[in-house]
Amino acid sequence: MTKSMQIKNNQLYLGKFPLSDLVRKYQTPLMVFDWAHIRERMNEFTEYTKSSLFSTRLVYASKAFLAPYFCVLMKEAGWWIDATSGGDLYIIEQSGFPLSRVVFHGNNKSTEELKVAVTKGVGIIVVDHIEELRKIVQLATQYRSEVNTMLRINPGIEAHTHYYIQTSLLSSKFGLSIEDAQGLEEIMQIYLHNPMVRLLGFHAHIGSQIIDVKPFVACARQMLEFSHHTEKLYHYPLRHLNLGGGFGIRYTDEEIDYGRLLSLLLNEINANLLSLSYQLDALYFEPGRAIVGEAGTTLYTVDYVKSIWGGKKYLFIDGGMTDNIRTALYQAKYRVANVNTAVSEKMIIADVVGKCCESGDIIAQDVEIPFPDQGDVLAVFSTGAYCYPMAMNYNGALRPAVIVVDGDQIEEVCRRETYQDLEKLFTKK
């Protein structure tokens, strides 16, 4: 459950609102964010990543969930935001968030996207490879713009998580391998000869849903040594370091103490800086999932309970892989609750499945919950990250509405898609 959720009268509430009331007003599928939960998590990151040796820059990884409303929160909190495409840059800019506080990622940024970044003064472009750097130099020269960059390094650290969300194995498509001294030499020569494009330092991101501090510590150590070594080798100041995101959340039974994890990591970074006599000006973290993941809950209506021959049971819901593909993609696991009946003696063990023509259209398997009546609402917890941004229109599905509950206030931050939205892109004959 999220920070403001509670059970009252055997029903699930978010603050003072029964979730069933929210559903009556906004329908299902519905994504609900608990703003207090997001604020608490942001405060924890702010509090536990401070150091007396450098300033910390917290960058919200907007790929987890991007909406203008969230950009405003980040702006007010003094955070940065990361972007991965021209589309992200556009949404972020339109929200009034300063592009000077944006970190621009991507392994294949188009010339048009780079031109926008260079000419509109995006804070930092994270360079993936040498050809991209050449293009940035060309654009910086053409538009007489100074550009700040970081170089993405693949430190080859294996974080213990699902293979598809590991990004840092040495065979990864992202960045320059930490072992590639020749590649680094060629890249550094470009920086040394083109002062319009500055290399602030290196970036690494070792995976996602990491709940153990060890891979973070290993990455930090390796990146600090590498940065320090490169600075000395090329007599080029490398005073910024970006250690990416990847902080895990509670989906089912994970236990994460962010204060403890971040304090351990920061102690390790401080100790390494002192032992290397390396002066860092700014350290960046890019949490996405950890900020919004647990705060988001998806609500679905149970249209039917189906028992098949052999006894297996299905709960048919009015959404599925079209608003949450994580189970189909990564075999993600979720906790599920019956919003209308929190506790009951009459239980069911069933798979929660969507309405697509795909056997893999599953949200959660073998969940045990109070037996739902037709029309009851299910809450699927920890769906705030990487669900809505991957939503799609397969089988003519409509993207759900998204609301934020902040104390007594409810804000609809994304409206529900309509059939007219679906039609808009097509040419009529």
Ligand X SMILES: Cc1ncc(COP(=O)(O)O)c(C=O)c1O
Is the CB of residue 303 less than 8 Å from the CB of residue 353? no
- Position 123 contacts ligand X (CB under 6 A): no
- Position 60 contacts ligand X (CB under 6 A): no
- Position 105 contacts ligand X (CB under 6 A): yes
- Position 205 contacts ligand X (CB under 6 A): yes
- The C-alpha atoms of residue 56 and residue 240 are separated, in whole angstroms, by 10
- The C-alpha atoms of residue 232 and residue 204 are separated, in whole angstroms, by 20
Binding residue for ligand X (CB under 6 A) from 26, 35, 54, 247? 247
CB 15 to ligand X: min, Å: 26
Judged by CB under 6 A, which stretch of 113-121, 245-253, 327-335, 341-349 contacts ligand X?
A: 245-253
Is the CB of residue 161 less than 8 Å from the CB of residue 207? yes
Specify the DSSP class assigned to residue 63: T
Nearer to ligand X, 64 or 197 (CB): 64
- Position 287 contacts ligand X (CB under 6 A): yes
- Position 400 contacts ligand X (CB under 6 A): no
Q: ω before 29 within 30° of 0 (cis)?
A: yes
Q: Has 219 been annotated as catalytic? A: no
- Position 244 contacts ligand X (CB under 6 A): yes
CB 207 to ligand X: min, Å: 8
Count CA within 13 A, CB hemisphere, residue 338.
24
Distance of CA 152 to the CA centre of its chain: 18
- Position 63 contacts ligand X (CB under 6 A): yes
- Position 57 contacts ligand X (CB under 6 A): no
Identify the CA nearest to 413 among candidates 13, 30, 84. Answer: 30
CB 17 to ligand X: min, Å: 28
Binding residue for ligand X (CB under 6 A) from 245, 296, 370, 384? 245
Give the contacts of 154 (CB within 8 A, at least 6 positions apart). 167, 168, 169, 170, 172, 174, 175, 176, 177, 178, 204
How many chain residues interact with ligand X (CB under 6 A)?
18
Q: Which of 356, 357, 387, 414 is catalytic?
A: 357
* Neighbour tally for 232: CB within 10 Å: 11
Nearer to ligand X, 63 or 228 (CB): 63
- Position 61 contacts ligand X (CB under 6 A): yes
Judged by CB under 6 A, which stretch of 48-56, 68-76, 182-190, 240-248 contacts ligand X?
A: 240-248
- Give the chain's end-to-end CA distance (angstroms, integer): 49
Judged by CB under 6 A, which stretch of 36-44, 193-201, 280-288, 365-373 contacts ligand X?
A: 280-288
Q: Beta 296-307 vs 313-317: how paired, if at all?
A: antiparallel
- Here the tokens at position 420 are 């007219």
Site for ligand X, rule CB under 6 A: 61, 63-64, 82, 105, 167, 205, 208, 244-247, 286-290, 385
